[in-house]
Amino acid sequence: MKKPHFLCSIVVVASLALSSAAQAAHIDVSGLIHLWNGNGNADDSIGSADGSLGVSTQFSPGVNGQAFDFDGSQDSNITLPVDISPSSLPQMTMGMYINVRSILNDRGWVIGHDNGGYDRSLIISDTRFGQGLAAGVGSTYTSSLFDLGDNLDKWFGIAVSYDQLASTATVYINDLEGNSFTQTVNTTLGNGQPNASVGGLNAFAGHGVDALVDDVFIYNRALSQSELDIVFTPVPSVLALFGLAFAALIRLRSVNAVS
């Protein structure tokens, strides 16, 4: 029997490993209703809520394929035809992978539908929220969960789970290195704008972000920390994958030698 060529085997095994890594970049759990991958468009790959791109929105390499590239300007964003108000989604979770390049202003909001009342949102920079990762909860509060200044130019996962029945919001972060953190606060939320926006707030200027954003998602229930740990499963490094590939090849050569 003809033995597989060593270099060809490297390519096959490594390709399989890299494919597995791409699939591991985002693992679905039940309740996922919208997912915007950012692979060259703002299409919803799960539902029918295709977004509209702002004229300055670009695309760059992300965690899983391409990512949305926002420069902080008012027209560098995405408009999503989704109502994330408590009346539409009493329980919900929204989040994404994000890589923040710089803090442009004192009110950088990544996703939200705010109409002036601190509605549902994910915030990476706001002096009223302690300049840390926070969420819209109906009033101001100081988050001590995450120091963004120490984590620029680095991919991490962020999310917020809202439970309108319990009047709570749980802010979540995953550093993609096996560590995750949460902070739960009370909410007094009302309804916001009927459309959500990513990269800033359409209704208000000065809320843009200088960041890459990948795999924006919405679930129709409040995910727990352990479930979000699954959603943000760390992606194995390329070196680790090739290490696995070589280990498999060594075993393959041993089997071939015996045969």
Q: How far apart are CA 128 and CA 131, in angstroms?
A: 7
Both 99 and 190 in a single domain?
yes
Amino acid letter for position 54: G
Both 142 and 80 in a single domain?
yes
Residue 218: give the domain boundaries: 27-233
| pLDDT value of residue 12 | 44
Both 203 and 181 in a single domain?
yes
C-alpha to C-alpha distances, 137 to 92, 143, 166, 169, nearest whole angstrom? 13, 12, 13, 7
- Averaged over successive runs of 10 residues, the pLDDT of the chain (259 residues) comes to 44 43 57 95 95 94 94 91 94 95 80 86 80 80 73 92 93 90 89 89 81 96 95 60 49 53
Both 4 and 65 in a single domain?
no
- In 3D space, the residue among 142, 181, 178, 138 whose CA is nearest the CA of residue 158 turns out to be 181
* Predicted TM-score (pTM) of this structure: 0.80
**Would you mind telling me the total number of residues written for the chain in this entry?**
259
Both 9 and 76 in a single domain?
no
Q: What are the residues whose beta carbons fall under 8 Å from the beta carbon of 120, sequence distance 6 or more?
A: 84, 85, 86, 92, 94, 112, 113, 114, 135, 136, 160, 162, 189, 192
Both 79 and 173 in a single domain?
yes
Number of domains the chain contains: 2
Q: If you count DSSP H runs as helices and E runs as strands, how many of each does the chain have, helices first?
A: 3, 14
Both 103 and 117 in a single domain?
yes
Q: For residue 170, what is the domain's CATH number?
A: 2.60.120.200
Both 89 and 145 in a single domain?
yes
Q: 3-state SS of 174-191?
A: ECCCCCEEEEEEECCCCC
Q: What are the residues whose beta carbons fall under 8 Å from the beta carbon of 147, sequence distance 6 or more?
A: 132
| pLDDT value of residue 117 | 78
| pLDDT value of residue 63 | 92
Eight-state DSSP code of residue 104: -
Both 97 and 7 in a single domain?
no
Both 225 and 248 in a single domain?
no
Both 69 and 141 in a single domain?
yes
Structure tokens at 197: 């926006």
| pLDDT value of residue 234 | 58
Both 166 and 256 in a single domain?
no
| pLDDT value of residue 1 | 44
